[in-house]
């Protein structure tokens, strides 16, 4: 009789329900997964290694500099990296959105300045602003790229968050 009890209850403890061979209630077990789906992504939020994620986040910031020679390149480059590689890493997604928002803010600010340049009295003041914005753009893009390379999420100052 003792051997039978040990087989049913290897710990030798009495069950809470009092019946011999009864199993204590526990959390319901999920149904078996017959669909053959992939395992959940790693805790880091994606399939990219941390070094690869840092590299792509850095590129999202630095490739925006191509906007200095390619029209709207500063908008297109971060947007492409965010849309393509953002699905593989939450860090790349965050930094891609940040770079896109910053460059979109700069583009809209430049457009407003160009419109204000048409006003005769204040236009001469606003002729300098696009050049100042270009210097700010270069400095902050490089700074953000260096921070992203180190794995630090960078936030541009005075940026309108169009995409959250």
CA distance 139 to 22: 70
Given a cut of 90, is residue 101 above it in pLDDT? yes
Domain extent, residue 64, equals: 50-149
Flag whether 121 is in a domain.
yes
Residue percentage of the chain with pLDDT more than 90? 48
Total length of the chain: 164
**What's residue 20's pLDDT?**
56
Flag whether 80 is in a domain.
yes
Flag whether 73 is in a domain.
yes
Flag whether 19 is in a domain.
no
Given a cut of 60, is residue 10 above it in pLDDT? no
Count up the domains in the chain and report the number: 1
Q: How confident is the model at residue 154 (pLDDT cuts 50, 70, 90)?
A: very high
CA distance 60 to 5: 65
Distant-in-sequence, close-in-space partners of 137: CB < 8 Å, separation ≥ 6: 64, 65, 67, 74, 103, 106
Over residues 137-164, mean pLDDT: 93
Flag whether 68 is in a domain.
yes
**What's residue 45's pLDDT?**
55
Flag whether 129 is in a domain.
yes
Flag whether 41 is in a domain.
no
Q: How confident is the model at residue 89 (pLDDT cuts 50, 70, 90)?
A: very high
**What's residue 3's pLDDT?**
53
Flag whether 140 is in a domain.
yes
Question: What b-and-e string marks burial along 108-130, b requiring 16 or more CB atoms within 10 Å of the CB?
Answer: ebeeebeeebeeeeeeeebeebe
What is the sign, positive or negative, of the torsion defined by CA atoms of 162, 72, 94, 135?
A: negative
């Amino acid at each position: 009789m003792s051997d039978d009890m040990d087989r049913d209850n290897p710990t030798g403890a009495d069950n809470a329900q009092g019946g011999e061979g009864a199993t204590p209630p526990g959390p319901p077990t999920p149904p078996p997964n017959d669909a053959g789906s992939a395992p959940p992504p790693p805790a880091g939020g994606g399939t990219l290694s941390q070094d690869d994620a840092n590299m792509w986040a850095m590129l999202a910031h630095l490739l925006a500099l191509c906007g200095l020679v390619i029209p709207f390149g500063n908008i297109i480059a971060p947007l492409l990296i965010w849309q393509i590689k953002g699905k593989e890493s939450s860090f790349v997604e965050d930094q891609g959105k940040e770079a896109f928002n910053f460059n979109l803010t700069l583009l809209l600010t430049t457009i407003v300045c160009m419109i204000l340049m048409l006003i005769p009295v204040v236009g001469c003041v606003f002729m300098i602003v696009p050049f100042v914005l270009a210097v700010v753009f270069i400095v902050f893009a490089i700074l953000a790229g260096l921070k992203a390379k180190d794995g630090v999420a960078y936030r541009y100052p005075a940026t309108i968050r169009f995409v959250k």
